[in-house]
Amino acid sequence: MDFTRRKLLKQSSLAAAAIAAPHLWLPTAREAWGATLKKGEPIKVGLLFSLTGQLAVPEEDSTLVMQYAIDEINKNGGIAGHPIQPVIVDAKSDFNVYSEKAKELIIREKVIALFGCYTSASRKAILPVVMSQNSLLYYPTCYEGAECTQNTICTGPLANQHSKDLIPYMVKNFGKKVFFVGSNYVWPKESNKNAKIWLQEAGGELVGEEYIPLGSSEFGPVLGKIRDAKPNFIFSTVVGASDIAFHKQFKQEGFKVDSMPIASLTTGEIETKAMGAEFGAGHFLSAPYFQSLENPTNQKFVENFLKSKYGKNGSTHYNMEETYLSAYVFKAGLEAAIKKTGNVEEITSRMIRDVSGGVRVEDDISPEGLIWIDGDNFNSWLKPKIGQCQADGSFKIVSESKEHVAPDPYSIYPNAGKCTAAGLVAPDGKSRKNVI
């Protein structure tokens, strides 16, 4: 299926229009917005990831690790004595299904928060639903930014927390000429807008830019253009099953990793395991987390997760770990809301978000080390890292930020304004809410 930009925008518009459908329940003026907790009942949360289709490679692990984190929290007493109850659905790698299931989870199941999505296209498909119901979405992976909502908390890196370091690193170590390859939807295109600016600042040269349909496995024409352009490295924002096909065909076509490596924002341990380590070896990934991180918390996390019933796929990776962190960010936010109100039955979805600015996941819980939620834009303060895939499929850390990097959703759009807890504040002082 050809997921063009126009089609994605159309699907997002359809998702927004569907909210007003007459057969759906919508709150009256006298009813509270957002789900509420009830004393003595479990805390219901929705897990909205794809278990089938081209996005299942990373998203199945997100579902598994969320169940693992929920079990871990419940074994330690839950949250204020309440167990967490996950409601799991399969989004089937279909943007319309993401939207439909988001409505079901929020309106029918009355979950207090959603944890879900991998692509920005799926996130944008469900955000109109989340915002109209004043619900709460925990988005646990990297994304492009240029978004300021009052109903989202993000635990993955923004563009200024990965490609801003990766591009100059690759230029310095491999050369100035780069070819961009991405899946054809909003995240790769917006990410490449950021990357072009950082490439220019690093003195690099863009020699080609190609996008392929999401889910496509045919890279012959793109690889032909890469062969003709002779770049020093490839910058990839290809996702899901396509990412696996791209790396395989790169090697099968005779390209040499030592003279033209792929620098990716998406190809981690799980993708490498799916394609075979021989196809990933030598290539690069920028992410806050790698399975190979040497610290006691990560070693315990990896060991316990892989031997649990949820570790069936045999590895941990950045998207999985960021999902794991989102469970503990939710826990900290809900505990802060309960402390503030003193009454569990007064807690709403939006209330949790409003007190989550500044909540921390400490070194003894976070496998990547301390992270915290920004009080303005509700993205995460992280330490960016760059890893190179080894012959066994593990990643060797070749570069790491010494300090936490602040999330900046509008890093290349300074004239757009500043994302704050109350909305996007433009340079003229005017404010807008829910900018997506």
What pTM does this model have?
0.90
Domain that holds residue 358: 5-20+30-157+298-382+415-432
241 and 114 within one domain? no
Residue 72 identity (one-letter amino acid): E
The CB-side HSE value for 209 (13 A sphere, CA atoms) comes to 11
- Tell whether 122 and 192 lie within a shared domain: no
In 3D space, the residue among 233, 163, 119, 201 whose CA is nearest the CA of residue 384 turns out to be 163
Question: At which of 249, 267, 287 does a domain end?
Answer: 287
Q: Which two tokens stand for residue 176?
A: 């100035």
Q: Does residue 404 lie within any of the structural domains?
A: no
Q: Assess if residue 392 is contained within a domain.
A: no
Residue 344 lies in a domain: yes
Which of 255, 287, 319 is the C-terminal boundary of a domain? 287
Verify that 210 and 94 share a domain, yes or no. no
339 found inside a domain: yes
Residues 15 and 141 in one domain: yes
Instruction: Judge whether 204 lies within some domain.
Output: yes
Same domain, 50 and 16: yes
Query: What is the per-residue pLDDT for 38?
Result: 77
3-class secondary structure for the chain? CCCCHHHHHHHHHHHHHHCCCCCCCCCCCCCCCCCECCCCCCEEEEEEECCCCCCHHHHHHHHHHHHHHHHHHHHCCCECCECEEEEEEECCCCHHHHHHHHHHHHHHCCCCEEEECCCHHHHHHHHHHHHHCCCCEEECCCCCCCCECCCEEECCCCHHHCHHHHHHHHHHHHCCEEEEEEECCHHHHHHHHHHHHHHHHCCCEEEEEEEECCCCCCCHHHHHHHHHHCCCEEEEECCHHHHHHHHHHHHHCCCCCCCCCEEECCCCHHHHHHHCHHHHCCCEEEECCCCCCCCHHHHHHHHHHHHCCCCCCCCCCHHHHHHHHHHHHHHHHHHHHHHHHCCHHHCEHHHHHHCCCCCEECCCCCCCCCEEECCCCCCEEECCEEEEECCCCCEEEEEECCCCECCCCCCCCHHHCEEECCEEECCCCCEECCEC
Do both 322 and 279 map to the same domain? no
Q: Which residues contact 23 (CB under 8 A, 6 or more apart)?
A: none
- Report the pLDDT value the prediction gives residue 44, as an integer from 0 to 100: 96
CATH number of residue 189's parent domain:
3.40.50.2300
Cα-to-chain-centroid distance, residue 237 = 13
Is 165 in the same domain as 248? yes
pLDDT value at position 61? 95
pLDDT at 24 (0 to 100): 32
Whether residue 122 sits in one domain with residue 81: yes
- Tell me how many domains the chain contains: 2
Assigned domain for 293 exists: no
Q: What are phi and psi of 432, to 5 degrees?
A: -130, 140
Query: Along the 436 residues of the chain, how does pLDDT read in single tens digits?
Result: 333 333 333 344 433 333 333 233 333 333 334 566 777 789 999 999 999 998 998 999 999 999 999 999 999 999 999 999 999 999 999 999 999 999 999 999 999 999 999 999 999 999 999 999 999 999 999 999 999 999 999 999 999 999 999 999 999 999 999 999 999 999 999 999 999 999 999 999 999 999 999 889 999 999 999 999 999 999 999 999 999 999 999 999 999 999 999 999 999 999 999 999 999 999 999 999 999 999 999 999 999 999 999 999 999 999 999 999 999 999 999 999 999 988 778 789 989 999 999 999 999 999 999 999 999 999 999 999 999 999 999 999 999 999 999 999 999 998 999 999 999 999 999 999 989 8
Q: CA nearest 97: which of 74, 81, 121? A: 121
* Same domain flag for 313 and 369: yes
9 & 139 share domain = yes
Predicted pLDDT at 336: 95
Out of 220, 255, 287, a domain closes at: 287
* 350 in the same domain as 247: no
Residue 391 inside a domain? The answer is no
Q: What is the pLDDT of residue 62?
A: 96
Domain annotation covers residue 350: yes
State whether 307 and 321 are in the same domain.
Answer: yes
